[in-house]
Amino acid sequence: MKKSLFSMLILFVIGLQSVLAQSREVSGVVTSADDGLSIPGVSVIVKGTTIGTTTDFDGKYSLNVPADGKVLIFSFVGMTMQEHEITSSTINVVMQSESIGMDEVVVVAYGTTTKKSFTGTATQVDADKIESKNASNITQALQGEVAGVQVISNNGQPGSTAEIRIRGIGSINGSRSPLYIVDGTPLQGDINSISPSDIASTTVLKDASATAIYGSRGANGVVIITTKQGKSGKSSIEIDLKKGINIRLLPEYDVFTRPEEYVETAWSALKTRGLLLGNADPAAYASAGLFTGDTKASGFNDYYNMWDVAGDQLIDPATGKFNTGVNRKYSPKRWKDELFQGAQRTEAGIRISGGTDKTTYFTSFSYLDDEGYYLNSDYERFTGRVNIKHEVKSWLKGTMNMSFMNSESNLSGGQDEDSNNGFWLVANMPPLYPVYARDANSNKIEDTVLGGYVYDYGDGQYGTRRFASLTNAVASSTYDVARTTNNQFSGNSKLEATYKDFTFSSTFGLEYLNSSYDNLGNMFWGGSANQGGSIYKRKREWFAFTTTNMLRYAKQFGEHNISAFIAQEASKREFREMSAFKSGLADPWSLELNNAIVSSPSGSYTDELMLTSYFGQILYDFDEKYFFQGVLRRDGSSKFTNDKWGTFGSVGGGWMISRESFMEPTSNFLNELKLKASYGVAGEQGGIGSYDSRLLYEVSNQNDKLALTESHVGNPDLTWEETAQFSIGTEFELFNRISGSVEYYIKNTDNLLFNKRVGPSNGYAIIQVNDGTMENRGLEVILDFEVVKSEDLKVNFGINAAFEKNELTAMPLESGSGEQKVIDVSGLYGRAVGHSLFDIYTAEYAGVDPTNGRAQWNRYYNEVGGVKDYIADMEIYLAQNKGNIGEIGKETTTEYSDATQKFINKTPIPTVRGSFNLDASYKGFSLAALFNYSLGGYGYDSNYAALMDDDLLGSNNWHKDIKNAWKQSGDITDVPAITSGLSGYSDANRTSDRFVTKTDYLSLQSVVLSYSFNKRMLDKLKLKGLKLFVSGDNLWTTTKRKGFYPNASEVGASSRYQYVSLSSITGGINVKF
């Protein structure tokens, strides 16, 4: 194959002179109909060939056209594509803005196309929408921009990335994330390395016709990122400056914040406890037990009595409120006030571009300093980029793109996923417990070692608290360090040679990422103090490269247009990790291992992955009315043992019905109408480890002798997950004002990854297998309206909606019976045939027993012949008792262990989710607003469940709904009694549908208000552009319950450790010279 390609290059050179001899020169100027100004960077191509050029800074072009060239195609992002017959040597073109239209140029896999000719499903997000948001990376900026794309921002830490889901749930145990392509090369490093201001366009590929070309990596969709390029002509300089604030605007759970209110509720709980225990005077019982010196008693530790009377004198038994005349000895700092801070966001960038008719360049430098609202959390990044294109000869072009990123992320010491997490503390810490320790006189204690004041760890040194004892998130965020430093280089180069109707290109892309993580535990305070402080270091390196060799062919035969390519691609990724831990610090602040004296075993390993691919594509259209696309790809992966190769492909067709003669009567209102359909198969291997199919051994020490033990038993038959997708839809334009699309799809995924239990005689319990099938199906609707369109005023409105369904159609086979597994319960969710991956499987809450205040749940039974057989697990019972099912009935029980676990017919997958936007402009002013919404789903609010807990007093804060708790016989309420952990009552907040909550939400995702100076003012200032703007992101969200944000989770659930998304408000200026 290499010899053939080399011979072809020789033929290109030999035939160069004859080609030039047969050509003629055509030139002209391209201008905009909007303002009459020239347009640089317009693509000018001879139709049916790959011969073309771009306009220079003044909108001028010059092109050698072959003798058989008849038509020139002019295209530019945001403008309507035009075709002009070559009737003279000068062709001047006036291009129209293209807000909606079938001739819009979009970037797709391995090239560009127009909406009308593309048989797949792709949504392109333009640069201005990306740049206008206060996002550090593209994953955050895609929020609400594309129908059928779920953006899950589950971490508000600055610099964090969002999870992307395209058209439903792609896998059960494998990867659900899409493939990212940057300038034609797969991204395998940190996506933060791409500054949003460097992005020219982002295209999301959704159906098999669009993604199958990526074979084993395309099943979960593809996100194609194209960075900016220079334009021929004079140099251009663009500067951005942004300054703003990061705050938490989204409300928190409605919990007790005043110590008095909390203690009054606690006293009521003790009174209820005394009542249930049969105490003669429950009120006196409550007062006597409210504050004691016994840390095991049901009341609080005396140390935390901040008032000037004894604990038994605090509450008036008649009212249950604080006695008059009781005063605080001190007012404790709120944990929220210490942990949440005002933060700033600073962003600056400069971009320089330009070029000649032969060479174009784009270079940029950007800086981001993004502080989080959580104490000492921040993200700082420097990026640089150079993109160069050069026409070596008329038949040979070269491209080189290079970028570099340096970033530092501080998570602060209080973001651990344990009781030391500050977000958990803010919601759950009883307001009784102070941030700082107090002496016998209730004064804060000076820290003579580190300065400031001594923090209260609740560990008994000062007081003993029942919540988050031994920890203090404020102290950890102040004294401890959790820092990640990344340095990444990315680059790709491409050579492209053209001979007549053939184009050969060779691309080489590489990435190198060096990531260092440093964790410092303070030597005087906190969890590391007992070992004299600690240092943990982890070094990671990623090195990846991809080579792609491609031969294209394009030809026009009358009304027939055909283009095709064949290609070979190879990629390799190498990952290395090394880690070390030491304790016993000399210096409390140094992050170097030499600063510690006690060593623990260190370790390192290397992980390698290789992928080789051969693929091709053919595109055909007749008279620009009938379109066909075919793709075939063959991938070979080093992850697999017995079957390393997989075959993937797709076919798609489109029909521009509106261009048929029989549609002419509708042309006055139906501008464009297109039908399209596609079917294809793509794969997924991201959820499989590099060595999961192999038997691995661990090196260990056995009496100072080498010992090998099995560490992983692989399955040599592991293979790809495969997704077959059928899609059918229509795209349309009406009255030159309305555009939209409707598309229906079915995705069937088989060879799902499951962990299968095997017999104990094998010597291991679980092995990974391919088994089971799953179906995703959905409907996507997109509508855009030009509401007002005048010279000065423009108003556009757009809305998109995605209706999704998910269903498991086959479960994996059981080892013993050889039959499909009845149900696989994973936490709150039951996996079974006929149900979605996330159908909720739990007990049904049945309210409160009014006689004693205990929680109740439903207990189902099967009654046959008057005998009740109680059911613990509904699905397993029904499967095991087929043919012996009588009448299924239910009764209530106050014992949670007797409650029946069952499907409750609720799922986190909403009926519909989407977004709508409003864009308006008047002269130089513009306003854009984007809203996201979701309707019809359910999620489990575990945070709320914890705030409704009945444990020993002081074990957690309460939600104010706890005021509705049962207090005496006859009370009708849905909140069980709170009793300070009385036996039989503490099960009340066990997992059940009591805490399953609607996940409906509406959020104001972003607002941008800007003013662009007009040409007259720009001429005076000698500028090419000047814009002032103010923008806000994540400004408002309404949900079923304050503090519950289901849009931050794939399953609509809350998380006690979650860094709730920050809200950003910035102002800025954009200047173009």
Round to whole Å and give the CA distance between 195 and 191.
Answer: 9
C-alpha 770, offset from chain centre: 26
Token pair 């395309």 is found at 218
pLDDT at position 53: 85
Round to whole Å and give the CA distance between 711 and 695.
Answer: 8
Round to whole Å and give the CA distance between 543 and 576.
Answer: 9
User: Which parts of the chain have pLDDT scores under 50?
Assistant: 1-21, 99-100
pLDDT at position 12: 38
Phi, psi of 454 (to 5 degrees): -75, 135
pLDDT at position 5: 39
DSSP lists the bridge partners of residue 314 as none
Cα 616 to Cα 117, 217, 285, 679, distances in angstroms = 18, 16, 82, 16
Q: Whole-model pTM?
A: 0.88
Q: Indicate the DSSP class of residue 443.
A: P
Q: What is the mean pLDDT of the chain?
A: 91
3-state secondary structure of 693: coil
Round to whole Å and give the CA distance between 617 and 551.
Answer: 11
Cβ contact 449:498 at 8 Å: no
Token pair 């060595």 is found at 691
Round to whole Å and give the CA distance between 543 and 510.
Answer: 7
User: Which ranges of 238-281 would DSSP assign to H, the alpha helix?
Assistant: 259-276
Fold that domain 2-98 belongs to in CATH: Immunoglobulin-like (2.60.40)
Strands (E), 832-911: 841-842, 845-848, 855-864, 867-870, 887-893, 902-903
Cβ contact 1044:1055 at 8 Å: no
DSSP lists the bridge partners of residue 680 as 650, 725
Round to whole Å and give the CA distance between 672 and 687.
Answer: 42
Cβ contact 343:246 at 8 Å: yes
First to last CA, the chain: 49
pLDDT at position 9: 37
Cβ contact 1025:1002 at 8 Å: no
**What is the CA angle 376-381-382, rounded to 5?**
150
DSSP lists the bridge partners of residue 960 as none
pLDDT at position 115: 82
Burial tier of 95 (Cβ tally within 10 Å: 0-12, 13-18, 19+): buried
Round to whole Å and give the CA distance between 741 and 675.
Answer: 10
Domain locations in the chain as residue ranges: 2-98, 841-903
Token pair 């007009």 is found at 1014
Q: What is the token pair recorded at 875? A: 């699905």
Cβ contact 248:1062 at 8 Å: yes
